[in-house]
Structures are given as structure tokens and as C-alpha cells.
Amino acid sequence: MKRAVTALVSALALIGCQTLTDPPLDQETVVETAPAVELVEAGQVNPDLNGGKIIALAHEAAGGETFVSPGSLFLSGHNTIYEKDGSSTVWDQYAMWRVFADEKSDAHVANGKVRIEGWSEGQLALLLSFDGEATYNQSGRMEDQSANAMWSNNFGFGAIRNALDFGWTQTRRSDRTIDGKPAYMVQLTDPESGKTLFGFDQSTMQILYVGFDTPRGWHERRYSDYFSKPGINWQQAGRVRLFYDGVMSNEAIWTDFQVGADYSDETFVIETVPVEPSF
């Protein structure tokens, strides 16, 4: 390719130096050039593997239909919060309950239901929930429902489950190396034009990365230490590191999970503050 370009430039230079009295060229030399490569395909292994195919493979690797439509998910473990001054706080008991909506048109808007509890040495450190309409904390229902907007700092991973739904697009991006692992990168665009970038381990198709823009800055999550349990087709990331504008904010270590359990509406409506963990 370089040789062909050099030859072409040289030919143009010679033509530019001709005077009106120069005899016309009586023969043209055909210069063979390589096909152009779109920048979006630069740095991609297996270029025939498009975004939609990668997502389908990732779904299968994560648990197939169980992963795509789990109904609900419960996670428990612990969480370390990193402060700007270099200090850290450990929530030694940490849990999340999640009930998923059937459809999702905006990857970064709260939908379905979620409850998060964090405890540190027996003291409640965090209590936050969304019941499908309103947000709650230790003080109960938050009347300023602009609080719902804060969920946009957290909602994004679930886009992977709806990625093949009608109205969504999947665009493959240049490959990366994430935590030492070659990764396929796919940008999802939801029906509301929101974009979420995912990275997948090229050897296992496990989810390694998600990134999206938030009011707090560019948010990235890195997933590793996957584990499973007997009797269920599900791969759970045991370690999740969260970053905003490149700075790690917290690191969640999940040690257990439960898929498909039923949770009452009261689980997500906070009227009284628990005196001990609800899990």
C-alpha cells in the first residue's frame, strides 16, 4: 500500500512539472491499490464478527435466556468506597435487589425496581431504593423526584439485556485490551439515542467493561472474577470496579447471587429504617 501511494505521489509530481511544450503521455501505468479500510474496522480481529453477533455470543456465555430475562436478581457481598483524599471506607455487608422491566427504551433511566443496602460494622451506611415510580432513602420517599435523575449515574449495565430488542443498534468499535485481555468492543444505541460501550473477553465472551456518560462524568465499570453456582446457567462477576473520569470510586465484591426470586412491592418502598441487614 505504501509503495503504491509513493508511486502515485511521484507520478502526480512529475505531471505537475510538465510544461505546455511537453509531449503528452502516450501510455498510462495502472497502479494497483489495496481496498480501503473503514476506520471503524481498524484494529479489529475477526472483522466479519459484527456487533449483533458479538452481543448474541455474549448473551449465550452469560447464561442465555436466563441472563437476558432473569426476572429478578439479588447480589450480596461487600463494597469499598474510595475517597479523593486517599482514604477508604468498607461496607462489610452490601446487597442489591433488582426486579427487571420487560422493556427498556433508555439505558440510563431508572426502570423496574431496585434496592441497595450498605452496612459498616453493624451501622447502616446506605439505604436507597426505586419502586418503579419514586426514589426512597433512610428518610422515606424523596419528594423531590428529580432525585430519580441520579440513577443515571448507575443504570447502564442492563442495556446488554435489551441490546437485541427492536429499535436498538449494535456497532462494533476498535478492539481494546482490558485488564490484560483482548476485548471486542460494541457500542449500543438505545431507542432514545443513548449510547453505552461494552467490552467482551475475546476468548470467553464474558463482559469485561461498560462505559457511558453521566452527569458525574464518564463512568466505567470493569468486571472480573466470574463465578457460578450449581443448577443455574448464570455467570456472575465477583469483582466490579467503578470509575468516574478515570478515578476509581468504589469496588464491589459479590460473593453470592440469586436469580428469579419473587420480591414484594414493599421491599422497594422504604417506610421504616431497618435496624439490621435485610439479607
Three-point CA angle 96, 102, 108, nearest 5°: 60
Give the pLDDT confidence score for residue 19 in this predicted structure: 31
Residues 94, 78 contacting (CB under 8 angstroms):
yes
| pLDDT score at 227 | 99
- Amino acid 81: pLDDT: 98
pLDDT for 40 equals 52
Q: What is the pLDDT of residues 92-132, one digit of tens each?
A: 999 999 999 988 888 888 889 999 999 999 999 999 999 99
Length of the chain: 279
> For residue 54, what are the CA distances in angstroms to 200, 210, 236?
8, 14, 19
Q: Are 81 and 89 in contact (CB under 8 A)?
A: yes
- Please write the tens of the pLDDT for every residue from 62-93: 999 999 999 999 999 999 999 999 999 999 99
Task: Look at residue 15 in the predicted model and tell me its pLDDT.
Answer: 30
User: Left, alpha or beta for 246 (phi > 0: left; psi -120 to 50: alpha)?
Assistant: left
> What integer pLDDT is reported at residue 4 of this predicted model?
39
Q: What is the pLDDT of residue 33?
A: 39
Question: What's the predicted TM-score (pTM) here?
Answer: 0.83
User: What is the rounded distance in angstroms from the CA atom of residue 187 to the CA atom of residue 109?
Assistant: 18
210 CB-near residues (< 8 Å, 6+ apart):
156, 157, 159, 160, 196, 197, 198, 199, 220, 221, 223
Residue ranges of the chain with per-residue pLDDT less than 70: 1-42, 145-146, 148-149
pLDDT value of position 12: 32
Residue 275: all three cell numbers together? 435496624
Residue 3: per-residue pLDDT: 37
Domains in the chain, please, with CATH? 2-39 (no CATH), 40-268 (2.50.20.10)
So what's the pLDDT on residue 145? 63
Three-state secondary structure call for residue 5: helix
What residues have CB less than 8 Å from 17, skipping those under 6 apart?
A: none
Can you give the pLDDT at residue 30? Answer: 42
Strand-pairing partners, residue 214, are 217
Instruction: Report angle CA 246, 158, 250 to the nearest 5 degrees.
Output: 35
